Amino acid sequence: MRRAIPVTSMTEQETIHVADVSEGIGGDATADPGSPVELPVVDVLTGRSFITGKSGSGKSNTASVVIENLLDNGFPVMIVDTDGEYYGLKEEYEILHAGADDECDIVVSPEHAEKLATLALEQNVPIILDVSGYLEEDTANELLLEVVKQLFAKEKRMKKPFLLVVEECHEYIPEGGGMDETGKMLIKVGKRGRKHGLGIVGISQRPADVKKDFITQCDWLCWHRLTWDNDTKVVGRILGSKYASAVEDLGDGEAFLMTDWDESIRRIQFHRKQTFDAGATPGLDDFERPELKSVSSDLVGELQSISDEKARHESELADLRQELEKKDRQLADLERELEEARDLSNMADQFAQALLGKAEAPYRGGPGRQAPGTGRSAVGADGGDADGDQSVLKSYDEAVAATRDGAETSPDDAASTDADATDGDPAADAEDASTAVDEASEPEPTEDAGGDAPPDDVEPVTRADVAESALRFDDAVELGTREAVIEELRARIEALPELSLGMLRHYRREGVSDPVAAHIDAGGDGDSGHAYSRHRPIRRAGLIRHAGRGHYAYAVPDLIREAYADRLDEERVREVVRAVETAFVPPAERSYPPEAEPVEVAGDVGANGAGDTADETTADADETTADADETTADADETTDDDAETVLDELVGGADRTGAETEGAGDAAADPETDGDRSDSGLSEAARRLADRGSARDEGA
């Protein structure tokens, strides 16, 4: 077992004995066969050398013999091992085996380059830089490049003889081009390293593939057996033609040695290496790995600290990348939410403008209002046609005229059509309503009331007529019998879900309230989305009406009054209300009116004129726009509620206002107006329905 001699004895040995002169053609004839061949240490350490020969000719053995002699005398070396065959030196020498395999003493990367150069030059540690285990060739090349750079830079300052041995050098310094930064750095060492004390030995089995600029700069060359024509031609150009043919007959370990220091060419036989030959061709016998010497734990610890620091750095980078990816995902989510908010805001703006357009419709007293009974379209203040830019609804007279003309619609179909209309797009609904008014702008010929006045009983219309022309509280309320009105309203109430019935009872007790409070009172939770979903069936049934600022009012009494065109006295209204409320009010609570007085809310539905309702619609539009930035569920619910509320208010408020205005204005001018209504409290429309029913009964 051998150890490297201390640095203090480096100058005691000036030559190393590596081979003996052999017999055969070529070589120095003055030297006797068997004469020792010694190489000057300084020339080997600081010079440039090239060892070549075909596979199995002994070139790696020659390199190992030279290295063993240098290590025996304490001279530092670094071996670039491309095939993992030099670890056998560890059988006798304490050499640091660094690379990528688990068999190495330490796994290194380009970050270890400076420390490796420091150990080799400053601490005289021989190193095997094993690049055979790296899966990525770029990583191996980068490691070698950084190590050679560090050796060259440190040698400029230290001027210490040091030998770098590079296996398969044709891969780094090829003749045909394609040389990368690593090859350029090795060429730089070959040209300029000698003056700094840094020597290099290149080993290759294909001299024809090695850059000739490197070969011609070498101080000593060793030619083992070569047989390929291109390779022997290189021998002929450098040594001479007689050596080109003789090189094919050299034995294993035999070579032509050409040296500049004595300007000779000798045929020599190199010694066999003393350490385990890990590069030998495997035989049939079992392979036995020798026991290898380990290096100082302090050396490995210094390199391991670099590895740990690198691992920590990579871990931090991984954490930062993960955090960056998380932030990128959050940013993408925020951008998507922002885009959705923009879309929602645009929708709210469009809806608010639609509401404002409805509020300024001609029948609401806007600038384009036309007198009742005219056949012209509404004209705005600027003389333009208001139908082009305003959304309007059907008028009360049009609805009655449609009934008079024989439109047959069942109550269930009417309610379904009404619900479908309110669920649609507000802008589309407004457009449909505008089309309806355009179609209704041509007045129908008024049918003179004739026949006997209806009896005092307020049931002039048969049940069959009511079934054919259902009550339509959203667009125009048709007049019907007491039983038909009760049956229609009870049917709407009985169709409600249980929790919606509880909310309706809350509105009956409170008069005016909001959906969340009603939902909680009915046994639900405080979630606004849940509250509005249970609130929607009540609103669509027309049993409550929007009272402004997110509040709704109990509307059953108003529906009954409107069914009789406000001609029914309060006592009879209460009777009908009590009959309707038996469908959902417990007996203990059926006193009418309820104990709790309804809260007076400005702009209450059905209580004010068309002008107040228009102001309320404008205010609600502003409120809807402001609330649009809230949650999507609230915005959607607000959109549905306000759209349907405006439809109800525009129809109900405008009809009542128009009826009151026309009644007051025409009473003095037309004395027959009072005759259009019977003592029973029914209007001309109801009488026409009654006449149709009587005629149908007589025909039957």
Q: Which two tokens stand for residue 29?
A: 């004839």
Residue 543 has a pLDDT of 92
Query: What pLDDT does residue 361 have?
Result: 58
- Residue-wise DSSP of 70-103: HHHTT--EEEEESSS--GGGGGTS--EEEESSTT
Angstrom distance (rounded) from CA 439 to CA 375? 11
Average pLDDT for the chain: 73
Residue 252 burial (C-beta neighbours within 10 Å; 0-12, 13-18, 19+): middle
Q: What is the pLDDT of residue 359?
A: 67
What is d(CA 186, CA 126) in angstroms, rounded to the nearest whole number?
19
**CA dist 433 → 393, 411, 488 (Å):** 4, 21, 25
CB atoms within 10 A of CB 672: 9
User: 130, 84 in Cβ contact below 8 A?
Assistant: yes
Q: Where are the alpha helices (DSSP H) in 481-526?
A: 482-494, 498-510, 515-521
Residue 546's H or E segment, with its range, is strand 544-548
pLDDT of residue 315: 85
pLDDT, residue 159, reads: 92
Do 206 and 174 contact (CB within 8 A), yes or no? Answer: no
Which pLDDT value is given to residue 683? 47
pLDDT digits (tens, 9 = 90+) for 311-359: 777 888 888 999 999 999 999 999 999 999 999 999 998 888 888 876 6
pLDDT of residue 516: 94
Write down the pLDDT at residue 247. 92
**Domain assignments of the chain as residue spans, ordered by start:** 43-280+291-295, 338-699
Give the per-residue pLDDT at 357: 76
Which two structure tokens, joined as six digits, stand for 16?
A: 């190393």
CA-based nearest residue to 269, from 253, 280, 287, 281: 253
- Strand runs labelled E in 113-237: 127-130, 162-166, 198-204, 220-223
Q: List all residues 6 or more positions away from 378 whose beta carbon is below 8 Å from its beta carbon.
A: 361, 362, 363, 366, 368, 369, 370, 385, 386, 387, 390, 392
Alpha-carbon torsion 112, 117, 122, 125, what sign? positive
Contact by Cβ (8 Å): 422, 640: yes
Residues in contact with 603: Cβ distance below 8 Å, sequence separation at least 6, in sequence order? 547, 548, 612, 613, 615, 616, 619
The pTM score is 0.47
* Rounded-to-integer distance, Cα 509 and Cα 532, Å: 19
Predicted local confidence at residue 23, as pLDDT: 85
For the domain made up of 43-280+291-295, the CATH class stated in words is alpha beta
With H, G, I as helix, E, B as strand and everything else as coil, classify residue 257: strand
Q: Which residue has the tokens 């050098």?
A: 169
pLDDT tens, residue by residue, 234-273: 999 988 888 998 999 999 999 999 998 888 889 999 999 9
Residues in the chain with pLDDT < 50? Answer: 1, 3-12, 363-366, 368-397, 399-480, 595-683, 685-686, 689, 693, 696, 700
